[in-house]
Structure 1
């Protein structure tokens, strides 16, 4: 039982992710600007894509390492190698249709600051089924694919003059089952999710909100909360089964027109990640999400 609860805590615990607007993200002091210039000079020739040379991308790594150019350089180049070793550039072209149906990620709309809002019905994910079927490695790769896809969504928003460098993520634990999601063999999957986020997609999450969390997990979070930094506790919000409580919090951050009904909003439908494929990404914006949903 202890290891099962620990796996739940791992799922909900994300590393520090600064909550910041695009203007704040690229607004620099003189010394920070010098660090950015040094960082760019150190890595530009080794980056395989143009978007990686843009300030907003480079700043993710600098801010993650508190503007230590040497450490940021090491982290970013390790990420480039990881992408090459795991063929991340082509991960979205692989056939994920079976896992997309089983482990859905939904795009709700935008929060009140124009950030994309993603909801993940974790309680519906049967991790154990994939593990028993010998698909653990593919499942871990699938979650890497989800991060890559989410990062692309934010880049599309930026290209269309949407002021978003981060996303709000809602984890719905409503149907969480210790057998299907909390098994001992599920723990490496959770560890992989956390490792990929921390090492390869720093500063992606503005808010991480868990709702319908099993009551037996809440006291454990209360223990962890006392040793977490202010940055983490400001970003991470965990709610139990009290629907009124978590809906009130969501609606403070996100207008009801941007949420599905099961989350306290007005929309009957949400957009699946899969709905994005083949669409005109040059139109990506909060207004475009509303158009697609309606």
Structure 2
């Protein structure tokens, strides 16, 4: 997120006073946090207030204020394992730690990347999902919708926590990290998934929830390996996201020459896995909270 203008500074002051009753001491009251909601509503602080109050109500209703301290669902951790990025001695995001699930579900990679933002170097998290292989139909058939949403809300909360940690030690006038780049790999997304009404509705709910509760945290998204049927799904996704978010999504087909070079402009090759044209080594799986282990999977769904 770029530095705020003088006009935005005035809006932040007004906005903070309007919503001060719900803001916890610390990050909630920071300029960068409040600016996200203001920019999401194009400077309209009345709409920004409504948005943030609804989001805070949502967090309280589902207990997401304490989600970082809640136990991880072992079944979903097996199906959707992840390892959040660490911090180096200066408080910057460490080199990438990645997770790779069985073919059944997904893969998440969170890594360190240096990008140019307002002519300043800044480490930004990169999150990669093998979203095309998500079996959301099985999730809804087994009644795990709530657990699935909670699991990924916890994931994004941890990503936000690591981004906050990356700002420790920086002066107030220095660039503050608030965003991440996403790589969504749609390889494997099938017509059967597209025509499953409940699975599509869950996908739409996730997209809408992220845009409503984590505004202005997406720097750029690469949708790669999109199949021929993807435009039909994307046509359903776009209305549930803000225009600003949609504008940050770049859609590519299966020709890697179209997207590989663009990804490498943001992420160094030695931090990318081979399937994205990188040279990174083997991927580790996060089998439990706070632990990183090597996990051999057979693709079987744990009972």
TM-score normalised by L of structure 2: 0.73
What is aligned with 1:100? 77
What is aligned with 2:150? 141
Indicate the structure whose relative CO is greater, using CA pairs within 8 Å and at least 6 residues apart: 1
The 5 Å alignment of 1:131-210 reads 131-161=140-170, 163-179=176-192, 183-210=196-223
Count of residues in Structure 1 that have an aligned counterpart in Structure 2: 253
What is aligned with 1:267? 280
Query: 1 CA distance for matches of 2:201 and 2:237?
Result: 20
What is aligned with 2:97? none
The answer to whether residue 260 in structure 2 is matched with residue 247 in structure 1 is: yes
Shift of 1:165: 1.5
What is aligned with 2:92? none
What is aligned with 2:24? 48
Match of 1:84 among 60, 71, 82: 60
RMSD of equivalent CA atoms: 3.0
- Alpha carbons of structure 1 residues 116 and 179: separation in structure 2 relative to 1, 3 Å: same
Shift of 1:124: 2.7
Higher helix share: 1
What is aligned with 1:124? 133
Query: 2 CA distance for matches of 1:232 and 1:45?
Result: 29
Shift of 1:224: 9.8
Shift of 1:150: 2.2
SS for the counterpart of 1:105 is strand
Shift of 1:172: 0.9
What is aligned with 1:73? 49
Query: 1 CA distance for matches of 2:112 and 2:276?
Result: 12
What is aligned with 2:113? 110
Query: 1 CA distance for matches of 2:233 and 2:193?
Result: 20
Deviates more, 1:102-111 or 1:131-140: 102-111
TM-score normalised by L of structure 1: 0.75
Give the conservation status (yes or no) of the 8 Å contact 1:105–1:120: yes
Query: 2 CA distance for matches of 1:51 and 1:43?
Result: 14
Residue ranges of structure 2 left out of the alignment (5+ in a row): 81-106, 117-122, 293-303
Q: Deviation string for 1:110-148 (max 9, x for gaps)?
A: 243421111011123221222111212222222322322
Query: 2 CA distance for matches of 1:57 and 1:273?
Result: 29
Query: 1 CA distance for matches of 2:4 and 2:180?
Result: 19
Give the conservation status (yes or no) of the 8 Å contact 1:119–1:171: yes
- Alpha carbons of structure 1 residues 99 and 275: separation in structure 2 relative to 1, 3 Å: closer
